[in-house]
Chains A and B, each alone.
Chain A
Amino acid sequence: MFRAAWKSLLSRKLRLLLSGMAVVLGVMAVSSALILTNSLSASFDSMFRTINANVDVQVTAKPLAESNGEDEDNAMPQYLKPDAITRVAAVPGVKTAVGQVDANGARVVAKNGKVIVTQGPPRLGTAWRDGDGVAELRTGTGPKSDDQVAINAVLAKEGPFKVGDTIEVLTLEPKKKFTVSGIFGLSGGRDSVGGETIVAFTEPVAQKLMLGQPGVYSSISVTAASGQTPAQLKTAIAAALGDGYVVRTSEEVAKAQSADVQEFLSLFQKFLLGFAGITLFVGIFLILNTFSILIAQRTRELALLRSLGAGRGQVIRSVFFEALIVGVVSSTLGLFAGYGVAALLKSLMFSNLSEATLSFTPAAVIAAYAVGVLVTLVAAVVPAIRASRVAPIAALRDAAATEKSMVKITVAGAVLLAAGAGGIAWALFGSLPGSTISLVLMLGVLLVFTGVALVTPSVARPMVGVIGRAFSWSLPGKLGRRNSARNPRRTANTAAALMIGLALITGVSVLAASLNASMEGTFKRELSADLLIIPDSGDATYDPEVITRIKNLPGVDKAIGLYGGVTADVTGKRVWMTGLDVASAIPILNIKAKAGEVRALKHNEMLISQQFADLRGLGTGSSIKLKTARAGEQTFVVAGVYAPQELFSEPLISDTDAREYFQSQMPGVGAVKLKPGADEKQIRKEIEGMLAGSPEVAVASQAEFVKQQSGQVDTVLNMLYALLALAVIIAIMGIVNTLALSVLERTRELGMLRAVGLSRWSAMRMITVESVVISVFGAVLGLAVGTGLGVAVVRALKHEGFDELAVPWTRMLVFLGLSVVVGLFAAILPAIRAARVNVLQAISYE
């Protein structure tokens, strides 16, 4: 007796553990997201405070365009003349005032000839300051002459470079050679704040290469004389300088610098939490199912308790208690697993942040337990209520198959499904304010999933029957199919978990395929280049001379270089522009006139898009005043309006003007059109030779370029797949769990089958077919729901670049095939268990 009780408890423990695994994975996802982002955020805050610790107040010139927090580099910073330093130094209370030269855009060529790229952090170029308290020389010295630079430890590692090496740096000017005079890190032993690279030049070189003007500074660092607080000093300096300057305490600077990172981290956190939410949502199905099955199996026991006088409340409480324990234990495990995952993510994605330390932040701990316990309890509610309804008489009856009507649940599901679909339609096609769209959309999707899951049991039997037919050529197959149709609710719940994961995977696949198809179409329509010069990053450039030389190559029809730049309108709003040789560009970019003329632009002439014309109320012949980075305010006259294009919509000016006005005087992108019959291979080789000095750009044919673009989409897609895989893993665990419990439940039946001659192998096949049927069922639902969602979103974004709808049939077929594999895989353990059923024990066990 005791042994039997112990054994059943032990086996139930195993089952509870299985259900707990879903909670563990869900909590793991939530807590890893929080631990990672919160820890990083805290450590960034402290690092920015540290690097500003030696300064009390910072002065910069007011930028031409408002920076509104995002992307300071494109705010068109203005620079300070030396007299500003003198004026600041003269303010009472100022101890020291030092002009600084600091700008993004110093790109270093590594030893392998490739330009070192950072994912996110800036590539800074500065003027070296001895003993500024932030940079700390590790070897060598600061730059002593104009042909020397000191580099930070990140660059030294990436290069790799050591003192005395020659180093090539791209800046506002083409590639220049320097000698490494020293390597520095941050005080306190860190390599960098967040993986940024720094090249420190002598002051005049930095001013020329980084700011583009000699004798100017990007900021002034001020320290206070004793007895002055930074706030007091800030007020005094601001008053002395008057308008046109931004004066901030170092605390404010640290906050602003950190704001960028914090914004990224908070977005990243939302992204990760989104996936954690999906994982949890799928997990609920698994837990719900497990508890339901456990209760069903304990019906007799519970009924016996009830007939012995236990109240309904007591039964509910006992189920809840079990759920509570599962929740707490799983949350704890999940929290620790989350820490591990956070560490893993950090080393994978933020390898340059090795200094940032992870910790169990209070938010992560609270969220882990709140979410884990809550989810488990929510999932236990339904089975608990069902358990409490077990009539005492059930103890005497064979409680096997009392099937309840599914009408109510199906109706509820249909209502939710309709509400969800309505919500999605409202979000996608309605006129909701932007901020609520994603919320309504998410809610809609959630409702659709729940609705489908509730409707599923009533379609389970017919659908499983149809799917199962494919596998029921043999008796074990037939038995497996019957078993999967036996308890529609259980099958449906199990399949629903897979449905959700696969629906999301299918949805994003449809989006990606449509995006790629639309992009391909756009390029085909709008771009008629034979060869393209492609930059590796937003601020990459190449020598403009190259375009002139390409034009002179025999076989080349047209060649254009595209210059990107920012200007500011009178209100301080940024206006992005492109400079190019319009006459040559017309046949390559297929620019057509909508109004006025599309032709070679003269000095201070401009071509604008219809959107821009509408936005600004401009037309042919009207003019607009724009502040440029290098030549102050200019008045541009609209020469014409070009017909709508997908690839660009910004104002176009001549390349000559661009070189005069834009911060960077070099083009970033290029396109070449060949004469008919020209030797593309030969010309490509020659262009590549000309670009040898511009390692940031590569030559590609138009087809290659399109492929690269869709490759980027695919990279994102693969990342989403990886994140959604967690939900699929949980769904697989759900199948394993359901099957294992079913095998346990049907021990006697299995024994009887074995007794009348079913072989072990056939018993395993029976379980496997059941598993495959469930998983294919889930997959079919998921593919259908996912395609629906994907199509809806693509249709809604018709005018935002998704002009073509593409359903990736082959890929979906692969998913369907994979679902068979999933079924086979999930069946392994339960099937082995089924094969191991001891015939004698099974038939004599009461």
Chain B
Amino acid sequence: MTSTAVAARADEVWKVYGSGEAQVIALGGVSVSLARGEFTAIMGPSGSGKSTLMHCLAGLDTVTRGEVHVGDTKVTGMSDRQLTALRRDKVGFIFQQFNLLPTLTAEENILLPLSIAGRKADQAWFDTVIRTVGLADRLRHKPTELSGGQQQRVACARALVGRPEVIFADEPTGNLDSRSGAEVLGFLRNSVRQYNQTIVMVTHDPNAASYADRVVFLADGHIAGELRNPTADAVLDTMKRLDGAGAH
């Protein structure tokens, strides 16, 4: 494994949209470190900057001020070409929906980032991932032939198969019923525990957050606290407090 224990890091990150009257400060100097092999959930009220933070960490968006690192690499200031390579080689993504290419089978979708990079999959690892996700008998199916939960599991497998430095997931269970959601979340937690994968997940759901090792709370673009080994109730309490604080 790599030398540092930090998989991704934001230092005093600002993200400001617009200017003057219409100025929106999405992130107001956020500093956060994501430890390797940890499952971190980011929570906060709607509009608090969760997605923005995640996009900045993943190199999908540029920051206004501050610095972002993924592993040892400084992301801030990278060219589009470098960012593309970073996303390809060091980062995995799971989106809320539209994760898969409808023209490719489940297997091809899983191998997509590796194919893009021109790398070969480690067969043993691939088999392990497939087994864990429970998709062995669905590999030849097209996404339209899979349920929403299965599609998200394919997306998880895709993110995992390249063993990225860190996987970012923006509300990966947002579109799923509770049972499918639980499957996906269990699988994510499993990959952290068993394979030392680093995962950052944005979620609204306290229940989902309870699968994480650590919950970071955002409010109005600032870090508003964090919880270690959270339970759903503890998360809910903190959220209520934050909502209450933001209410007046």
Contact = CB atoms under 8 A, between A and B. Distances in A.
A840 B144 contact: no
B69 interface: no
B144 A753 contact: no
Given A757-B113, A839-B60, A844 B51 contact: yes
A314 interface: no
A752 B60 contact: no
Interface string B94-112: 0100111111100000001
Given A757-B88, A757-B89, A839-B60, A748 B98 contact: yes
A756 B158 contact: yes
B169 to A, nearest CB: 12
B116 A756 contact: yes
A752 B99 contact: yes
A620 interface: no
Contacts of B113: 756-757
A762 interface: yes
Contacts of A584: none
B137 interface: no
B60 to A, nearest CB: 5
Contact of A755 (B60, B100, B101): B60
Contacts of A839: 60
A748 B95 CA distance: 11
B104 A482 contact: yes
A400 interface: yes
A540 B51 CA distance: 86
Interface in A789-846: 839-840, 843-844
Interface in A541-589: none
B144 to A, nearest CB: 6
B103 A757 contact: no
A479 interface: yes
Contacts of A749: 98, 101-102
B117 A752 contact: no
Contact of B87 (A400, A757, A760): A757
B103 A482 contact: yes
B80 interface: yes
Interface residues of B, number: 29
A757 B117 contact: yes
Contacts of B88: 756-758
B211 interface: no
A485 B142 CA distance: 14
B83 to A, nearest CB: 9
B138 interface: no
A762 B118 CA distance: 12
A483 to B, nearest CB: 6
B204 interface: no
B84 A757 contact: yes
B84 A758 contact: yes
A401 interface: yes
A752 B98 contact: yes
B112 A756 contact: yes
A754 B101 CA distance: 12
Interface string B116-132: 11100000000000000
A624 interface: no
Query: Which of A753, A756, A762 has the most chain B CB atoms inside 10 A of its CB?
Result: A756
A483 B55 CA distance: 28
Contacts of B39: none
Nearest to B92: A756
A760 B89 CA distance: 16
A136 to B, nearest CB: 74
Contacts of B116: 475, 753, 756-758, 762
Contacts of A755: 60, 87, 93, 95
Contacts of B93: 752, 755-756
B180 to A, nearest CB: 17
B24 interface: no
B81 A759 contact: yes
B40 to A, nearest CB: 20
A114 interface: no
A840 B87 contact: no
Contacts of A760: 80, 84
B24 to A, nearest CB: 15
Contact of B101 (A753, A757, A762): A753
Nearest to A753: B101
B229 interface: no
Contacts of A757: 84-85, 87-89, 113, 116-117
B61 interface: yes
Interface in B54-72: 55, 60-61
Interface in A398-415: 400-401
A8 B87 CA distance: 30
A486 interface: yes
Nearest to B144: A401
B147 interface: no
Contacts of B46: none
Nearest to B80: A760
A395 to B, nearest CB: 17
Contacts of A759: 81, 84
Contacts of A756: 87-88, 92-93, 112-113, 116, 158
A749 B115 CA distance: 16
A760 B144 CA distance: 27
Nearest to A751: B98
Nearest to B51: A844
B115 A475 contact: yes
A400 B104 CA distance: 15
A844 B113 CA distance: 20
B55 A840 contact: yes
B182 to A, nearest CB: 23
Interface in B140-171: 144, 158
A760 B117 CA distance: 13
Contacts of A752: 93, 95, 98-101
Interface string B209-234: 00000000000000000000000000
Contacts of A748: 98
Nearest to B168: A755
A840 B101 contact: no
Nearest to A481: B103
Interface string A745-780: 000110011111111101000000000000000000
Contacts of B101: 479, 749, 752-753
A400 B51 CA distance: 27
A839 B101 CA distance: 15
Contacts of B102: 400-401, 486, 749
B111 to A, nearest CB: 10
A484 to B, nearest CB: 10
Query: Which of B113, B116, B158 has the most chain A CB atoms inside 10 A of its CB?
Result: B116
Query: Which of B55, B80, B103, B112 has the most chain A CB atoms inside 10 A of its CB?
Result: B103
A839 B93 CA distance: 13
Contacts of B104: 479, 482
B47 to A, nearest CB: 14
B159 to A, nearest CB: 8
A400 B144 contact: yes
B86 to A, nearest CB: 8
20 contacts: A400-B144, A475-B112, A475-B115, A475-B116, A475-B118, A479-B101, A482-B103, A483-B103, A749-B98, A752-B98, A754-B84, A755-B93, A755-B95, A756-B87, A756-B93, A756-B113, A757-B116, A843-B60, A843-B95, A843-B98
Interface of B: 51, 55, 60-61, 80-81, 84-85, 87-89, 92-93, 95, 98-104, 112-113, 115-118, 144, 158
Interface of A: 400-401, 475, 479, 482-483, 485-486, 748-749, 752-760, 762, 839-840, 843-844
Across chains A and B, which 6 residue pairs bring their CB atoms closest together, nearest first? A757-B88, A482-B103, A475-B115, A757-B87, A756-B113, A748-B98
Given A748-B98, A757-B85, A760-B80, 18 more contacts: A400-B102, A400-B144, A401-B102, A486-B102, A749-B102, A752-B93, A752-B95, A753-B112, A755-B87, A756-B87, A756-B92, A757-B116, A758-B116, A759-B84, A760-B84, A762-B116, A840-B55, A843-B60
